[in-house]
Structure 1
Amino acid sequence: MTRRIGHIGACSPLIMAVAALTGLSTVPASAKTATLPEIFPAPASITLGTGAVTLGTSVVLIAAPGVDPETIALVRRILTASGVETIATAQRLPSVLDRPHIILGPDTAAVVRDALDRSQTSADRHAEGYTIVSMPAGRGGVVTLAGHDADGLFHAAQTFRQIAARPFIPALVIHDHPAMPIRGTIEGFYGAPWSMADRTKHLEFLATVKANTYVYSPKDDPYARARWREPYPAATLSALGTLAATARRNHVDFVYAVSPGPSVCFSDPADLQALEHKFDAIRSIGVDSFYVALDDIEYAKWNCDRDKATFGPSGAEAAGIAQSRLLNAVQTQLAKADPKARPLIMVPTEYYDAKETPYKAALRKYLDPRIVVQWTGTDVVPPAISVPDALAATKAFGRKTLLWDNYPVNDYAQTTGRLLMAPYARRQAGLSGELTGILSNPMNQEAPSRVAVTGVAAFAWNDEAYDADRTWHAAARELAGGDERATRALLTFFDTQHMAPTFGSQPWQEQAPRLKATLDRVREAIAGSDDRARSDAIKDLARCADEIANAPDIIRSGTVDPGFAAQSRPWLDAMQRWGRALQLTAAGLAAADDGNTAASRYFADAKRLAAEAAAIPSIPGATRFDGPIKIADGVLDTFVTDAPTLFALPVAAEAAPAK
């Protein structure tokens, strides 16, 4: 799927059609020099026209019958945020426009179909697809939001949110739909689960990036794993029901996952019945999508003698057969309870790599083809995923897999003291042809997770047009509420948390690449013989140090999402101290360059502050592994340590002996 970018001339049939639609014969005087808006995720196709629509303070909203109230409410909030004070309503377009008109509805609605036909624009007919046509006319213009289905219309509104944030809406035509049918997150980490408040915020965030799936699967929910046979307490079940309702309002599929693997007896009808009862209870609160997790368990032994008698000695192949039998029965019951229900999702015990094994062969042979299989890539935390990797997984499991991407999750030892906030990268364009979708496993910290999840959602929506760095910057702007100063501060912070580890010794994303480039230039300039270059490099270092030291206060100032600042607290504390240490280091280098004996004092103070920064602990219990906070480790700490050795430090003259 490619992103087609074109231009509509002032005398194009589309412009002329809109003029006819509104009783006008000329292009309006309000025609402005239009520029292509940045939209994330990138649309499948966007064509830029001439002129623009200025919303002003009064618009008319035409909502076709049957539009979701949530979608109408979202469009109203967007208009209000854009400065619109009066939102009138109507059922059809007038012959002459006196102000902007917004048309909202399914592409089958008469008023929407008429607007598309008269503007000579066809509708996007893909699932979750939408079409937006914006054309200036008269003293306003027409903006048509047409969804192929209810989800598509909601996605159209999310795109409208982005283009309406500009001073004016350019004339354009957008045809858009997702490349992958499943896009979102799985709360599948170990350690402290998210709070219900964080989950609510996350579901609202997922809507903004056009994600459509959230899997509830916290490893530390006892009623989903250790005590999975037991019913939820009434209060917890009610809270899950409220969460599911929030998901529906945001057009996100709430998937409930149970993890019976550590204790289940695959051949026992009582355990099958226990699963059915669990799902029946969850169905009663409005959830109709289900998941059985069989990860992180052993298949070298059975949990009951009955399984040994039924399936023979324990082992990989026997486990695959036993799991298939149980899951097939669950799938049958789900389809019986609701023929329209989405297929069951499962994560297998061998959830990574695509090597042929007896276990995978058993799943391929016996598992109901309707059941969706998750796969984490070439490793638990893969450094990259290619189309050939996904093809191999399709062959191994006998179906296209749903990628469980273990990024940016930080529940394993190599992530101790880290937030993982590098761009989502090294996933090959074209994966949409061989995956059913991607679910990101986020961090224990919900708001900081949005940085990477924005990239995951954008890649899953349009992998061919995905730009990792631009999407990364867009995530920062969104967290900063559009404030440029706060955006820059966030990007400075992200750079100090850029390193993405694997289960091995080599990370798949380097640490602090922007800061490292600056520090490398300083080293090179000091090593050179150009006095001016050396002085300029040290001044650049001082400005960089100021950015690092000041970023935490900017992030905490209230512009950035408060949840982000709260969940990042110890990292921001440590970053500020490291920034001050770097300020002192820059002062020491400047003093040394001038032959000033104060250099040693500056370096000593920098060393003291660096030690304080390195000792700041993570929030106890917030993540699976507690430990000291890491800020640009291997880059910033190394430079602060090495700086005193880059010059032959001047020594203060000794006082003359007393006579």
Structure 2
Amino acid sequence: MKMLFTCFAVATLFGGTTFAQTIQNVQQSGNPSSARPVTLPAIFPAPVSIEAGKGAIVLGKSVVLIVPAGTDTTSVHLMQSILKAAGVETIATAKQLPSVLDRPYIMLGTTDVAMVRATLTKRGIVPDNNTEGYTVSSEVMNNGALITLAGHDADGLFHAVQTFRQLLMRPFISSLVIKDHPAMPIRGTIEGFYGKPWSMTDREKHLNFLATVKANTYVYSPKDDPYARDRWRDAYPDATLSELGKLVAAARKNHINFVYAISPGPTVCFSDSSDLRALETKFKALRSIGVSSFYVALDDIEYTKWNCDQDKTTFGPSGAEAAGIAQSRLLNQLQAHLKSVDPSAPPLIMVPTEYYDAKESPYKAALRKNLDSQVVVQWTGTDVVPPAISVPDARAATKAFGRKTLLWDNYPVNDYGESTGRLLLAPYLRREAGLSGELAGILSNPMNQEAPSRVAVTGVAAFAWNDKGYDAERIWIAAARELAGGDEQATAALLTFFDTQHLAPTFGSQPWQVQAPKLKVMLDGVRDAIANGNDDTRHRAITDLIQYAAAFAGAPDIIRSGTVDTAFAQEARPWLDAMQLWGKALQLTAAGLQAADHGSIAAERYFANAKRFAAQAAAIRSIPGATRFDGPIKVADGVLDDFIANAPKLIVLPLGEGAGVAEK
């Protein structure tokens, strides 16, 4: 990114007109305090390039939209709603730019429109010409301003409007040029977890969220939908199909590709033409509600036995290689059918039975040799829940499957035993920059809790958009700020909470992200100050702990106050309840340390009450049925509980009056 610190020109509204001043005019009018540098905005996901120019714009109460014929209506409607939310009262329309601008003009369109292309050319801007790419430019002109949002295609224009939404979160819009496009063609989520599926309301909220982070794919694959798995041959009830239709429409409005996944593996007969027709019939029903992209899930099934004698006759004895051949035959037939019905349809996606490593095997060799090259193959990395994914890992998967794979990243999903009692709210880390060159895309498998999943999914989407410009910590903070509606106090409370849910387990004994790293640094500092500091250092550390404990204990109420997305607070309820109790225990622990530091036997009472609150916090359990495994809630476990348990040993009361009481 190139940052140019320049002079500031403000466009403000007076009597319904917009007045723009250059810095020279401001200085001549004797108001040099208005001269300040233009700051470069933070856009997430990080754009490919952003360059600030001279001046800045305040929209005021009146703007004019210039929308060429044929412009994507969803982008236009989104722009109108964003402007109204920003306080714009009058949104006029015009067919072309006037010779002199008297207010902000905003041009929306794709770069194949002559007017849009000419506007950029006049400024010497070569637009981004990549799929889903866009260009945003803004500049002060005359007594107004011109803002141009140009998409390479309709999707790109929609992404440009999402970027503009972020620009409007600041009090002014910098004069700038942004050129941007995604690094990976497929970016989004797959609702592929076990346990309680999301509600239709959850899914619609998630689609709205995915649009804000420039994702483009949602795979409907809940394991507990009987019509997609156990009863896959049966038609959906009309009411359910209607509800799915509403979801497809919501996806289309958000420029999200709604992918329908079916899991016939446990019972399908690969060589039976009637099962092929059943799949085609199911897909036809989904096409009737607007679905055009399909997926066959063959994960979590056995390939050591056939489901029918006909497969044994057709493919021989069961086994890994035979399964790969049989699956390829069925998938190739489905791919051919989909293309015959709709030549423009996206390719079929599949997840193989061996989805969790890149090692060579007879099964993968069979897929590589027999599966239609257009079929997209999903892969979860070097393990079911991989601690890291490198470029060589992805390259090995490409070699094993004979094509670039679509990464099914099992983060932040929490439907397995090691994640019992946890929300997974750490930043999205340990995926190597450069993976965009080796993957077809990334789909995150989220948690049963939709709103809390947005924290990690924001990182997944940002990485998939621009892996080389990805900054995990900044995206983590941005996700908190978005959930908090921009409120800084709520953002800070969320980040404190996120830290208590930082641990990211794997199927093994070692987690791939540690628990509560920021809290641990703070508590370790207290320990060190008590053990090695002088009196002033020790007193100051304990005073700081008292202040921190108060903020920690108060964070849940801030999160539940209504500023933060209410769905987040509802779905995180037991964790917030437990955090509040742990916070009280920490407050009492800090008070106990302060009392002990002053030689007071009151320390014993504080520590005893802290232990009582800690026990209450540890007894809180997850919401029954909300996740696949119910269990006790974990909050900064191994860090906070350890400190509270061991704090009474950090300071020993001096010998003398009351010491015996303190030692009982």
Separation in 1 of the partners of 2:81 and 2:277? 46
Equivalent residue, structure 1, for 2:15: none
Q: In 2, are the aligned partners of 1:600 and 1:649 still within 8 Å (CA)?
A: no
1:637–1:27 CA distance, 2 compared to 1 (3 A): closer
User: Identity of counterpart residues, as a percentage?
Assistant: 72
Q: In 1, are the aligned partners of 2:5 and 2:39 still within 8 Å (CA)?
A: no
- The offset of 1:32, in angstroms, is 5.5
String of CA shifts for 1:352-394, please: whole Å, max 9, x gaps. 1100000000000000000000000010000000000000000
- The offset of 1:140, in angstroms, is 2.0
| RMSD of Structure 2 on Structure 1 (CA) | 1.7
**Of 367, 373, 385, which residue of structure 2 is paired with 1:369?**
373
**Of 331, 342, 345, which residue of structure 1 is paired with 2:335?**
331
1:6–1:654 CA distance, 2 compared to 1 (3 A): closer
Matched residue SS, 1:464: helix
Equivalent residue, structure 2, for 1:151: 155
Where do 5+ consecutive residues of structure 1 fail to align? Answer: 11-21
What are the within-5 Å matches in structure 2 for residues 102-501 of structure 1?
Answer: 102-501=106-505
1:303–1:33 CA distance, 2 compared to 1 (3 A): same
Please, which moves more after superposition, 236-245 or 102-111? 102-111
- The offset of 1:139, in angstroms, is 2.1
1:652 partner letter:
G
Separation in 1 of the partners of 2:82 and 2:405? 37
1:126–1:529 CA distance, 2 compared to 1 (3 A): closer
String of CA shifts for 1:324-372, please: whole Å, max 9, x gaps. 0000000010001100000000000000110000000000000000000
String of CA shifts for 1:441-476, please: whole Å, max 9, x gaps. 000000000000000000000000000000000000
Matched, 1:523 2:527: yes
1:112–1:592 CA distance, 2 compared to 1 (3 A): same
- The offset of 1:38, in angstroms, is 0.2
Please, which moves more after superposition, 122-131 or 103-112? 103-112
Separation in 2 of the partners of 1:649 and 1:274? 77
Equivalent residue, structure 1, for 2:12: none
Q: In 1, are the aligned partners of 2:588 and 2:607 still within 8 Å (CA)?
A: yes
**Of 610, 617, 620, which residue of structure 2 is paired with 1:616?**
620
Equivalent residue, structure 2, for 1:13: none
Separation in 2 of the partners of 1:103 and 1:113? 11
1:5 partner letter:
K
Please, which moves more after superposition, 52-61 or 150-159? 52-61
Equivalent residue, structure 2, for 1:97: 101
Please, which moves more after superposition, 369-378 or 117-126? 117-126
String of CA shifts for 1:295-323, please: whole Å, max 9, x gaps. 00011111111111111111100000000
Please, which moves more after superposition, 78-87 or 25-34? 25-34
Equivalent residue, structure 2, for 1:652: 658
1:653–1:135 CA distance, 2 compared to 1 (3 A): closer
- The offset of 1:407, in angstroms, is 0.2
Separation in 2 of the partners of 1:242 and 1:26? 50
Q: In 2, are the aligned partners of 1:265 and 1:271 still within 8 Å (CA)?
A: yes
Matched residue SS, 2:108: strand
String of CA shifts for 1:148-189, please: whole Å, max 9, x gaps. 100000000000000111111001001100000000000000
Kindly tell me the number of residue pairs found equivalent between the two proteins.
Answer: 641
Equivalent residue, structure 2, for 1:536: 540
Please, which moves more after superposition, 308-317 or 400-409? 308-317
Separation in 2 of the partners of 1:139 and 1:454? 39
**Of 606, 609, 631, which residue of structure 2 is paired with 1:605?**
609
String of CA shifts for 1:193-236, please: whole Å, max 9, x gaps. 00000000000000000000000000000000011000111100
Please, which moves more after superposition, 622-631 or 532-541? 532-541
**Of 2, 14, 18, which residue of structure 2 is paired with 1:5?**
2
- The offset of 1:5, in angstroms, is 2.1
Equivalent residue, structure 2, for 1:48: 52
2:226 partner letter:
P
- The offset of 1:529, in angstroms, is 4.3
Separation in 2 of the partners of 1:627 and 1:653? 41
Separation in 1 of the partners of 2:69 and 2:416? 50
1:28–1:389 CA distance, 2 compared to 1 (3 A): farther
Q: In 1, are the aligned partners of 2:269 and 2:308 still within 8 Å (CA)?
A: yes
Matched residue SS, 2:538: helix
- The offset of 1:138, in angstroms, is 2.0
Separation in 2 of the partners of 1:320 and 1:5? 50
Equivalent residue, structure 1, for 2:10: none
- The offset of 1:649, in angstroms, is 3.8
Separation in 2 of the partners of 1:112 and 1:48? 21
1:263 partner letter:
T
Equivalent residue, structure 2, for 1:552: 556
Equivalent residue, structure 1, for 2:510: 506
- The offset of 1:57, in angstroms, is 1.0
Q: In 1, are the aligned partners of 2:428 and 2:472 still within 8 Å (CA)?
A: yes
Matched residue SS, 1:621: coil
Separation in 1 of the partners of 2:5 and 2:115? 24
Matched residue SS, 1:322: helix
2:585 partner letter:
A
Please, what TM-score do these two structures have when normalized by structure 1? Answer: 0.95
Q: In 2, are the aligned partners of 1:423 and 1:472 still within 8 Å (CA)?
A: yes
String of CA shifts for 1:384-434, please: whole Å, max 9, x gaps. 000000000000000000000000000000000000000001000000000
Separation in 1 of the partners of 2:22 and 2:479? 40
Separation in 1 of the partners of 2:659 and 2:412? 54
Separation in 2 of the partners of 1:368 and 1:341? 15
Matched residue SS, 2:206: helix
Equivalent residue, structure 2, for 1:634: 638
- The offset of 1:114, in angstroms, is 1.9
Separation in 1 of the partners of 2:37 and 2:571? 42
String of CA shifts for 1:210-269, please: whole Å, max 9, x gaps. 000000000000000011000111100000000000000000000000000011111111
